[in-house]
Structure 1
Amino acid sequence: MTEITRRPSLTGISVSLVAAAVGFVGVGVASAGAVAPAALGVVVLAVGVFVASRRLVTLGTTALFAGVLYAGAQGGAAEPLLVAALGTVVSWDAGEYAIGVGEQLGRDAETARLTLVHSATTLLVGVVGIAVTYAAYLSVGGGQPIAVLVLLLLGVVALVAALRGGRDEGRRVRRGR
């Protein structure tokens, strides 16, 4: 019998890093001055998913999101900010999910389809949230970067809370509560 390697799969790592790259590019397009915290966030996230550290994944995506917020405060365009926020949330969720699946099933298990479906679902929920946020932005008349920043922050907080709530519910079910 072989020992199970309790690490994230390469698919999970890749999805997380691609999403983080999308977030980074969105930040760079919105505001060149916000690239530094976003770049630091991507590096910390990459280390976190490779060493299977939830703390580093969260810290990295927090720094990436700080880049999104800074770009918004600098008056960056709404479209790249929304894409950057979505990339940030998907990268966090994919990294956390990859670590969880790696802990449960191991790196060598066939989890590519599972990981891709989970991340696609997160992306779909995020796209719907982005569409609602962008519609609200357009209805306000545009040119309101602070309003977009507030809506963006509220949308991301709601999405993360929803993702966390589902994950906590799954833990209670597994523990028999």
Structure 2
Amino acid sequence: MSAWIAIGSSAVGMFLLMVWHWIGFLSAVIGVGCVVFGLYRRSRLLLGGALSWFTLAAVIADVAGAPVEIVLLAVGVAVLGWDTGLRAITLGEQLGQAAETTRVEAVHTAASAFVGVVSIGVAYVIYGQLATSYPLVSVLLFCGSVVILLFAQQGFQS
């Protein structure tokens, strides 16, 4: 289930960014490919690369004039795809692919989505407080808050 959520959220991110600039769209397509191939090969490195490609696509879309809401949402679903992809690989290694993990995956995905929604909300509030000529600052603050919340979430799971 986590693998399908990772692929689906990556595809949503790609579709959100595809109309703003062709280089950003190409970066997002490479990101989706990295997610699919990373899940197939069980490679955390490829999933991390996918997140990097999606971040590049979001920055390009932001520079090309995409609304900040689209950029924040695209980064949020990219992080969700990365996180659920990592969870899919970890559960597959620890429990095997035949294990029934639907409940664990659903709870983890809901918690990750909640962290993403809170992060997007914080970034959007900060963006609203800043002058409208600084949308890149809000994206960078969002990325920083996501990283902090992911580290905090990992600490609670240990």
CA distance in 2, matches of 1:29, 1:98: 30
User: Which of 95, 111, 126 is the equivalent residue of 2:101?
Assistant: 111
CA distance in 1, matches of 2:55, 2:151: 15
Q: 1:161 to 1:69 in 2, by over 3 A?
A: farther
Contact 2:31 2:50 in 1 (8 A): yes
Alignment-derived partner of residue 68 in structure 2: 78
Q: Secondary structure of 1:75's partner?
A: coil
Normalization by structure 1: what TM-score?
Answer: 0.80
2:78 partner amino acid = T
Tell me how far 1:79 sits from its aligned partner. 0.3
2:127 partner amino acid = Y
Contact 2:14 2:28 in 1 (8 A): yes
Tell me how far 1:117 sits from its aligned partner. 1.1
Contact 1:30 1:81 in 2 (8 A): no
User: Which of 121, 134, 157 is the equivalent residue of 1:131?
Assistant: 121
Contact 2:39 2:89 in 1 (8 A): yes
Alignment-derived partner of residue 57 in structure 1: 47
Is 1:41 equivalent to 2:17 in the alignment? no
2:115 partner amino acid = V
CA distance in 2, matches of 1:27, 1:50: 24
CA distance in 2, matches of 1:80, 1:30: 10
Percent of residue pairs identical: 31
Structure 2 stretches lacking a partner, 5+ long:
none
Structure showing greater radius of gyration is 1
Q: Deviations over 1:81-129 (max 9, x none)?
A: 0100111110110000000000111111111121111011000011011
CA distance in 2, matches of 1:149, 1:33: 19
1:24 partner amino acid = M
Structure 1 stretches lacking a partner, 5+ long:
1-10, 171-177
Q: How many residues end up aligned between the 2 structures?
A: 158
Alignment-derived partner of residue 174 in structure 1: none
Q: 1:71 to 1:17 in 2, by over 3 A?
A: same
1:15 partner amino acid = I
Alignment-derived partner of residue 12 in structure 1: 2
Q: Secondary structure of 1:133's partner?
A: helix
Tell me how far 1:29 sits from its aligned partner. 4.8
Contact 1:73 1:149 in 2 (8 A): no
Contact 1:45 1:56 in 2 (8 A): yes
Q: 1:142 to 1:88 in 2, by over 3 A?
A: same
Using CA pairs below 8 Å that are at least 6 residues apart, which structure has the higher relative contact order?
A: 1
User: Which of 127, 139, 142 is the equivalent residue of 2:132?
Assistant: 142
User: Which of 61, 65, 68 is the equivalent residue of 2:58?
Assistant: 68
1:126 partner amino acid = G
